[in-house]
Chains A and B, each alone.
Chain A
């Protein structure tokens, strides 16, 4: 049984159907990369999983349990088990790095403070920011903010981590440090769905690549299958264009 199973998921913005029946699955500890042209619906898949964009059809099962997004309580139950990091940095600006990490575990989960803080320190060490524990977000570079956002997402011990182009807004020289942090998470066995334009990185870390276009999955397979021997014309076009750069 897959860890996360998405079957025939649909979503709309107004009358525009942007997800037209999306199905894919991911095993525990696996990394799936969503790739595709701009506007194809990659972000919407992640937003729908987090209950930020309403699902209009289909099913989501996580660890054998159906996630039901029909009430705000159910949506929060889904958010309990998954975490997301966005492209734009969105740290809480009025809080220190430590407070960003511990707010939700302490105030929302009401977990034990000593344990929460110890875990926060461990996560900051993992993303290489132990020395920034008391910094505010405006004292951090974009790459550092994204690494804090990664650590914050992990502080709630999610069963799956969703990453939406977390390096796209960064200066090129800062991309590497964030990718390194993700590599470490992968080595820890974190299950992840990654949206990324960094094809080299996708090829390196992803177990499976899902190619989307216009709200549908066109082709899915291992990185080698999609990058080297794509079966569909659309995938062929996309990868030959993007890999040329």
Chain B
């Protein structure tokens, strides 16, 4: 291999990469959080809802999980202005990622809803809990505990793979920044080596954050790795 790595220019522009990483992190967190709310609603409807609503959720899930995220985001990016909505690139990306994550999370959380022990639900009911209270105090802690690994993995998918789609609609998240910067001085390999490392660090921070959140909110003793 004759290529000589020259990282100097990358370090000069490191603050911009950090900005990109920060945007990636925010996008990932908000898309996942929004997706979790959508997914929780979707899973609750699939479990308790009347059939017309269930059909609606099923249609949404099938539509989203069977098309690429990029297509969905392009759809918003090019489609929304046609109906008179002028949203920023970031907003299109965030809405797109949220809707995308919401569909997958509906499926993941649905598995959690199904696996709650009926006896625990009945215990809650006979103690006088409403449906919302059963979900809050029995189903959600159960989900957080039993499918935590699936949730954590999916968060990483959103954070790393989901957000990088933004580069294609001009959002300067980490991948977008790397493309912008390296196309100025052609140090592609150096930039992407550093950016890969930054993604790993991001993922690590995110995993710890999620574990602490689970412990704090749901009293889940989760392992981080």
Which A positions have Cβ atoms within 8 angstroms of B? 50, 52, 72, 76, 79-80, 83-84, 86, 88-95, 103-104, 107-109, 149, 152, 156
Contacts and interface: CB of A to CB of B under 8 A. Distances in A.
Given A94-B142, A94-B145, A83 B126 contact: yes
Contacts of B144: 94
Nearest to A77: B128
B119 A79 contact: no
A92 B141 CA distance: 10
Interface of B: 117, 119-120, 122-130, 133, 137-138, 141-142, 144-145, 218-220
B218 A90 contact: no
Contacts of B124: 92
B220 A94 contact: yes
Given A94-B219, A94-B220, A156-B128, A86 B122 contact: yes
Contacts of A86: 119, 122-123
Contacts, number: 61
A80 B122 contact: no
A80 B137 contact: no
B138 A79 contact: no
A108 B127 contact: yes
Given A92-B137, A94-B142, A94-B219, A108 B129 contact: yes
A36 B130 CA distance: 33
Contact of A90 (B120, B128, B219, B220): B120
A150 to B, nearest CB: 12
B44 to A, nearest CB: 16
Contacts of A90: 117, 119-120, 122-123
Contacts of B122: 52, 86, 90
B144 to A, nearest CB: 8
Nearest to B123: A90
A32 B218 CA distance: 40
Nearest to B122: A52
A79 B125 contact: yes
Nearest to B131: A72
B137 A52 contact: no
Contacts of B218: 94
Contacts of B117: 90
Contacts of B129: 104, 108
B128 A93 contact: no
A80 B128 contact: yes
A109 B138 CA distance: 17
Given A86-B119, A107-B133, A92 B125 contact: no
A186 B34 CA distance: 52
Contact of B141 (A83, A94, A107): A94
Nearest 5 pairs of A and B residues by beta carbon? A90-B119, A104-B127, A94-B141, A90-B123, A79-B128
B119 A52 contact: no
21 contacts: A76-B128, A79-B125, A79-B126, A83-B126, A84-B126, A86-B123, A90-B120, A91-B120, A91-B123, A92-B120, A92-B124, A93-B142, A94-B141, A94-B142, A95-B219, A103-B137, A104-B129, A107-B137, A108-B129, A109-B128, A152-B127
A52 B125 CA distance: 8
A14 B124 CA distance: 24
A91 B120 CA distance: 7
Nearest to B129: A108
A225 B51 CA distance: 53
Contacts of A80: 128
A92 B123 contact: yes
A50 B123 contact: no
Contacts of A149: 123
A79 B145 contact: no
Contacts of A83: 126-127
Contacts of A108: 127-129, 133
A108 B48 CA distance: 21
A104 B128 contact: yes
Contacts of A52: 122, 125-126
Nearest to B133: A108
Nearest to A50: B126
Contacts of A103: 127, 137
B63 to A, nearest CB: 34
